[in-house]
Amino acid sequence: MRRIALGCAAVLFFVGFAHAKGPAGGIPARDVFDVRVVSSAADQVSGGDARLHIDVPRTVPLHQVRVLVNGANQRDRFSEVPGTRRLTGVVDGLELGDNIVRVEPNGRGQGRPAAVELMLTNHPIVGPIFSGEHQYPFVCTTMHPDNGLGQPIPDDPVTGTRVIVGGETVGLSRNCSVDTVVDFVYRTSMPAGTREQDKWKPYTPGMARPGDMMQTTTIDGKTVDFIVRRERGTINRFVYSIAVLAPFDADPHTLNSDAWNGKVIFRFDGGVAIGHTQGRLAFGGTLYETGLSRGYAVLYSTGTRTNVHYNLQLGGETALMVKERFIELYDDPAYTVAIGGSGGAIQQYVYAQNHPGLLDGGIPQYSYPDMVTQAIHIGDCELTEFYFDVIEGPFGPGPVNTKWQTWTNRTFIQGLAASNTLPNVYFGGTIGLTECINGWRGLSPLALNPNFGQALNQQLFEPQSAIAAIEWTHFSDIVNIVGTRPDGFARRYWDNVGVQYGLGALVAGDITMAEFLKLNFVIGGWKDPADMVQEGFPFVPTGGMANFDVWSARNQVYSTGPAPALRTEGDIEAMRAVYRSGLVFMGDIDIPMIDWRPYLEPALDMHNTHQSFAARQRMLNAKGEADNMVVWFTDNLNGRAVFDQTPEALEVLDAWLGNIAHNPAAGVAGNKPPRATDRCFTAVGEEIASGDDVWNGIIDAHPPGACTQLFKTYSTTRRVAGGPFEQSLFKCQLIPVSEAAARGFYGNVTLGPVEIGTLHAIFPQGVCDYSKPDAGLPPEW
């Protein structure tokens, strides 16, 4: 088991059941108490309560069990599970820190087992547990209509979001807590095309049945009125929602679970943001009709939306705490599966790796393996676009290299898809576009520029000087992990020292040696955060077209001569920290995953097909196999996704997990149902091909499979430069140019003294040798 750093201390990151058994003393194992914390790990309890399962030995009548919490008997909080000798209940009133739960028999008759003691470590419901110091400032949004929770509770006399009642500020809230709210809604029979919000209406238990109320049939075959109980509140400072099909609840406290299928969907959402805000609930996520209609409970949190923040250590902590709350309400589910796209898919891979037991399966949609390694090659996008458009293009002072005005030629360098026919909105709709532009433009300043960012409701925060002092970067968002430099900025892991942009294109004959040398001579990297300035138009409207800078060129390092541009060197300690923290998906997971995406390459969408196979390759690297993961593609119609394969994936995953429950000895791979295999589909969801060989030729040397032939997979800048397919390398190890030439890095291209000398000048430290491991790996790995 890998040991990773969580917050300030190194702890094992396994999260599952906590067991405690008394000394056997000659008594068979079935005749001792078995006490388990099922809502969280015993040392990660939050909010002052925890659900326990107590399996009682046959020598003790169930009514003679005592459950002492710090000496006080809480046996009345436990009930019997019918047909078993198990008690289940929620202990309450835990103090912050360590608490002792003692389970003992009431009486000392012959054969009575010894008492069992279990330590529970309780943490505040506002957190943190292991994610480190709270991010500050943190702006409250409970009052936003999408959250619908009203003003937060004042909790700080000096700093926080202004709490406004009757138009007057009555206090400040630093933790953004609110009282928990429970309401009921029902699904209406509104026609297709109706907004999701308008398909749900308020419901009061016991009211006359509305005429427009729908019914639904769960996967258990129960047909019931489509009424949902929804609980909302704040956990770990974020807004959460728990929604469960509840047509039989008499009131908010009843918790009749007869319509619940016993299973949970945790809905994760994507996007890119830098934090400092509580965020907003997504209506379609909290009331996820696909899951609720089938009887699943649906869990959701603004803390597991990457368009709120991208600290997946904090996100994983939040997910654990929200699931803990659900289990305390309803008991341990048969399984928990995740559904979510883009950043929601990344969370599935990363949380499955870091928190075994949190998820039992997943449907990552539009996936990437993780965010931190994705940023490596995407950080190259505007460096290359500026080169094509300005240094060698129509926006520069010199002659135009027409090669780059044939837009698909940019793929030679960038690896990503491009189009000679799609309009470019940044250049007045003229024809020509790349994925770097269409998919990723604007994300370089968002991730890198400390001056460029904002938080929802930030005008309500006091003092405003704290808002003005925020470092708006991805690295600052994970500063608890990467740490700070002496000047106060967060350490950065982005690095391009020794990267030979376009090396593969040179070897393939797509560019000349002169073009290769000029490209690498000009491109440097990104300025130090202390030297960055505010973005230009259109990111910041001030100055209009006179301030035009779509490339963030003012924050780039580049050369127009006579000396080559200096490259950007990342911080080794930052790289090691993100590895140790689990932010890099290493592939070592063994839960069923159905990785589904619509094929959007023709639209130059950022969710490119390469990513699914990068995740698979990492699994192969880690385990030698990836039988727990299947890859599904669905074709597009005119560049748009039109068919959602998720409901079918949910059916397959349910069968897969059911097989595992009935035959655990066969493992994940041995329990696959027939449809749990690699597949591709038409734009209307009809299967084109399926089987273990349909994606051959992407990460192996086999002839292209049936799906591989239909759905082209592209590359990345770092792969073109010689890097690994799985794009999991922050900083390459370097070798001298002369050694690279001797080892055939440049193929059949002849390098004379002039070329060798120029390369030495561009790469004085040497060039990347991608046959060696990441220089940023922790030394103990």
Flag whether 75 is in a domain: yes
Q: What is the DSSP letter of 745?
A: T
Q: What is the DSSP letter of 84?
A: S
Return d(Cα 291, Cα 265) in angstroms, integer: 7
- 186, 96: one domain: no
| pLDDT score of 30 | 58
| pLDDT score of 592 | 98
- Domain total of the chain: 3
Q: In the structure encoding, which two tokens stand for residue 229, read together?
A: 């109980």
Half-sphere exposure of 286 (CA within 13 A, CB side): 26
Flag whether 403 is in a domain: yes
Number of helices (H), then strands (E), belonging to the chain: the values are 21, 35
Flag whether 386 is in a domain: yes
Main-chain dihedrals φ then ψ at residue 168, nearest 5 degrees: -115, 145
Let me know the angle formed at the C-alpha of 542 by 541 and 543, rounded to the nearest 5 degrees: 110
- In the block, which residue shows the tokens 């100055």? 543
Contact (Cβ atoms closer than 8 angstroms) between residue 323 and residue 316: no
Burial of residue 483 (number of CB atoms within 10 Å: 0-12, 13-18, 19+): middle
> Residues 135-154: pLDDT tens digits?
999 999 999 999 999 999 99
- 112, 235: one domain: no
**Which phi-psi region, left, alpha or beta, contains residue 533 (left: φ > 0; alpha: ψ -120 to 50)?**
beta
Q: What is the DSSP string of 196-240?
A: GGGGEEEE-TTSPPPTTB-EEE-TTS-EEE-EEEEEEEEETTEEE
Last residue in a domain, options 558, 588, 619: 558
- 174, 309: one domain: yes
Buried/exposed 719-729: b ≥16 CB within 10 Å, e otherwise: bbbbbbbbbbb
- 86, 230: one domain: no
| pLDDT score of 9 | 31
- 547, 434: one domain: yes
* Closest residue by Cα to residue 771 from 760, 739, 762: 739
SS3 159: coil
Q: In the structure encoding, which two tokens stand for residue 398, read together?
A: 């010199």
CATH number at residue 37: 2.60.40.10
Distance (Å) of CA 168 to CA 151, 152, 163, 165, 171: 12, 14, 8, 5, 9
Flag whether 459 is in a domain: yes
- 307, 170: one domain: yes
Flag whether 34 is in a domain: yes
| pLDDT score of 728 | 87
- 172, 93: one domain: no
- 395, 498: one domain: yes
- Helix 312-330 to helix 343-354 angle (10° resolution) is 80
Last residue in a domain, options 282, 314, 334: 334
- 197, 314: one domain: yes
Flag whether 645 is in a domain: no
Q: In the structure encoding, which two tokens stand for residue 7, read together?
A: 């917050």
Contact (Cβ atoms closer than 8 angstroms) between residue 622 and residue 584: no
Flag whether 1 is in a domain: no
Sites in the chain below the pLDDT cut of 50: 1-18, 21-29
> What's the gap between Cα 272 and its chain centre?
10
Last residue in a domain, options 498, 530, 558: 558
Terminal Cα distance for the chain, rounded:
12
In sequence order, which residues have a C-beta less than 8 Å from that of residue 141 and are 6 or more positions away? 147, 176, 239, 277, 278, 279, 280, 302, 456, 457
Main-chain dihedrals φ then ψ at residue 579, nearest 5 degrees: -65, -50
> What's the gap between Cα 751 and its chain centre?
45
Q: Are strands 238-245 and 297-301 parallel, antiparallel or unpaired?
A: antiparallel
Flag whether 391 is in a domain: yes
Return d(Cα 781, Cα 772) in angstroms, integer: 14
Q: In the structure encoding, which two tokens stand for residue 58, read together?
A: 């046959």
- 173, 291: one domain: yes
User: 299 lies in which domain range?
Assistant: 160-334
* Closest residue by Cα to residue 456 from 144, 124, 97, 780: 144
**Alpha-carbon torsion (131, 133, 139, 142), positive or negative:** positive
- 117, 167: one domain: no
> Residues 7-65: pLDDT tens digits?
333 332 333 334 554 443 443 445 899 999 999 999 999 999 999 999 999 999 999 99
- 119, 181: one domain: no
Contact (Cβ atoms closer than 8 angstroms) between residue 320 and residue 40: yes
Contact (Cβ atoms closer than 8 angstroms) between residue 396 and residue 390: yes
Contact (Cβ atoms closer than 8 angstroms) between residue 522 and residue 565: yes
